[in-house]
Amino acid sequence: MKQFCFILILLILSANCSFALPFNFKKEENKFIQSDQYQTVSEQANVYYAQNDIKSSFNILLTIPDEERSAQNWLLLGNILQDQGKLDEAVFMYNKAIEVDSKYYKAYYNLGNIYLNDGRPNMAIEQYKKVININPEYPYAHYNLACAYIKLGKYGKAKYELLTAIDLKNTIPDFHYNLAYVYKQLNKEKNAKTYIEYYNKLIQEQM
């Protein structure tokens, strides 16, 4: 059966942090600065992860003290745990990332993905809306928000989010497929046919 919801988990594969100043951790929001020593460790963890050496990446991240972990560090720990099916622990890590940087939309996005896959669309919607508030031009947040609305039968809202996603990035076949599905649920067969044709065209171009 065709899966209507495509979930993209953000993975941090490289560290491009400009944390060149000495470590100066403060409690104020978004003021975290990682020391050079642990920035180097973070970069090595990202390299291991990119090489699919997940165990080494995880172990080296654990050597960074909690107060020295960047939002990216926490996110990567969450990604690894989520991949292992340890969802409660992954949720903890994503929330820690948000504690370090409340504008770190990737953590909200991955929380939304967990909730959506776990059958909690209302909680997923809350997270995706936070992503869009921070980064309104991120198409996958609009797409997955639409998926959550589809699960709730809110097809009008799903249509709006899918149209927004397509406006931002029109080369993703599943965006068009799901919009066709939504139009079909709204009894707009002509529109549904149009987007199925877009979907088929994109699939053929990718073959």
Domain borders along the chain are: 29-102, 108-207
Mean pLDDT of 136-148: 98
Q: Does residue 31 register a pLDDT over 80? A: no
Check: CB of residue 203 under 8 Å from CB of residue 176: no
Q: Pick the residue with more confidence: 42 or 13?
A: 42
Equal CATH topology for 29-102 and 108-207? yes
pLDDT, position 23: 24
Confidence category of residue 18, pLDDT binned at 50, 70, 90:
very low
pTM comes to 0.84
Q: Does residue 172 register a pLDDT over 80? A: yes
pLDDT, position 36: 87
CA dihedral 6, 12, 16, 18 (to 10 degrees): 110
Check: CB of residue 164 under 8 Å from CB of residue 148: no
Q: How far apart are CA 142 and CA 149, in angstroms?
A: 11
Q: Which CATH number fits domain 29-102: 3.90.1150.10, 3.65.10.10, 2.30.130.10, 1.25.40.10?
A: 1.25.40.10
Architecture of the domain delimited by 108-207? Alpha Horseshoe (1.25)
Mean pLDDT of 145-164: 98
Which tens digit of pLDDT belongs to each residue from 62-101?
999 999 999 999 999 999 999 999 999 999 999 999 999 9
